[in-house]
Structure 1
């Protein structure tokens, strides 16, 4: 499979390239393009890519501006940190979307979705993409601020800003607060991630979502992985995979 990556953040493009190779070593990355201008220059000559991964915000504008200059018939997978309304629209106009920070499982699912549809012609629709751009400009993300949780015989509103981390224990989602109180959240972890501010919370692995404010130290682990020291401390090691390590450090640094 031949792919093109349109991404202006070096660490993000390197991380995506690494994860693609981990998923399928036969994937060939034809080009990494970091701007609207360079993308237009490359794509207007035609391309033989099977799939394009495209970020929304680029150094010199939005990737939708590319479609004003170039007719692209190659299937697209958007990588985006935009709100849920825009994401729903993306799903109508592309193979799939991946919400940043990129999760390796979601990336693999998106690739599998492309492979299932590989025999179907999926041209990009410039008019629809323009409508999505309007939606991006008009909608602002509204993040959830509280979870209604049970404490003994009462229901109390738990502020998300007070949660240090979420984790899965025997199929149950638990939230631990910064002052080390534990509550059960009656939602799936995927739903929680969609509703909270991902500039403040990061899903470090399939079982764990951590608040930036709860991270005290980041220790290097073997094989390129990281181990987090948090407050309050967790009973087990919180490990960030090698595939996510660079992106996590970049997220913490922003």
Structure 2
């Protein structure tokens, strides 16, 4: 095993690759971190002529294909952490045991969690890398995942189900998560938005910011706002503006158009 751990970044957007390189290098300065060209053909050529690293940060969508094409062609002997702007694809990868993913824009805390997970499970990749990659490829081909369908709502002396499809949006306020129905009724949930994001169908729900997850059926319209942001109007109306940051606008548009 190499003395210095090596990680490579395969990302088709150069600014995103440089930012991730800076974040990983800051988080683990003892690592050797390198950016590899962000296309399937170029990445395959690089892996053909270089020793395989210990870890790949792999963008789902590359310039001339996707992660499945790259993994099928090269079958790298190392671990993979996916990066993606659209979490439908991330959920597919995450369905495989010991695989992790990071949603764009990359947050330092989430990156640290993924790196720590890799370090704790690193030995598994070395002992059975072939089986690991086969599981990974199978997950990308067969993205089966059962999403949450209901919540148990409780009051002082009774309980009743609330179907996920009957929620217009979820929001967090003062460390409390609320589910809001199309009729405007609010219910308190014993779940964080981070946990909800993992359990909800990404085709139907989108994490627009740190405070809110929207059901696509609740969106009335979306308009351009300042500095490349998008302002979203929903039904029932929310008590404050719902603004999507510039870093999430591309993912939001892709989600609406899926």
TM class by shorter chain equals: 0.7 to 0.9
User: Could you tell me which residue of structure 2 aligns to residue 104 of structure 1?
Assistant: 107
Ranges in structure 1 where 5+ consecutive residues have no aligned partner: 8-12
Alignment of 1:148-163 (within 5 A): 148-150=152-154, 153-163=157-167
Runs of 5+ unmatched residues, structure 2: 1-5, 27-32
After superposition, residues 117-132 of structure 1 pair within 5 angstroms as 125-132=129-136
**Aligned pair in 2 of structure 1 residues 236, 150: CA closer, same or farther (>3 Å)?**
same
**Is residue 69 of structure 2 the alignment partner of residue 65 of structure 1?**
no
**Residue aligned with 1:44, SS:** helix
Over aligned residues, Cα RMSD in angstroms?
Answer: 4.0
Establish whether residue 184 from structure 1 lines up as the match of residue 188 from structure 2: yes
1:31 aligned partner: 37
Superposition TM-score, scaled by structure 2 size: 0.71
**Aligned residue number for residue 46 of structure 2:** 42
| 1:209 shift after superposition | 0.7
Deviation (angstroms), 1:151: 5.3
- Alpha-carbon distance between aligned partners in 2 of 1:81 and 1:40, rounded to the nearest angstrom: 25
Write the deviation string for residues 183-219 of structure 1: whole angstroms up to 9, x where unpaired. Answer: 1111122221111101111111111111111122222
Moved more, 229-238 or 22-31: 22-31
Residue in structure 2 matching 1:5, options 10, 13, 25: 10
1:32 aligned counterpart, secondary structure: coil
Write the distance in 2 (CA, Å) between the matches of 1:219 and 1:45: 48
- 1:17 and 1:239 map into 2 onto residues whose CA distance is 26
- The CA deviation string for residues 76-113 of structure 1, in whole angstroms up to 9 with x for no partner, is 3224746869626452xx6x423x56663555335764
Structure 1 counterpart SS, 2:10 = strand
Look up the SS of the partner of 1:167 in the other structure.
strand
Question: Partners of 1:157 and 1:15 in 2: how far apart?
Answer: 46
Aligned to 2:29: none
Structure 1 residues 88 and 138: CA distance shift in structure 2, 3 A: closer
Partner residue in 2 for 1:20: 20
Q: Which residue is 1:10 aligned to?
A: none
Instruction: Tell me if the contact between 1:15 and 1:247 (Cα under 8 Å) persists in the aligned partners.
Output: no
Write the mapping of 1:211-250 to structure 2, written as runs, cut at 5 A. 211-250=215-254
Counterpart-to-counterpart distance in 2, 1:150 and 1:50: 48
Checking the alignment, whether the CA contact within 8 Å between 1:83 and 1:141 is kept in structure 2 is no
Work out whether residues 219 and 233 of structure 2, in 8 Å CA contact, stay in contact via their aligned partners in 1: yes
Post-superposition offset of 1:29: 4.3
- How many angstroms does 1:243 deviate by? 1.6
Alpha-carbon distance in structure 2 between the residues aligned to 1:19 and 1:243: 13
After the TM superposition, which of the residue ranges 42-51 and 233-242 deviates more from structure 2?
42-51
* Aligned residues of 1:4 and 1:49 also touching (Cα < 8 A): no
CA distance in 2, matches of 1:199, 1:14: 28
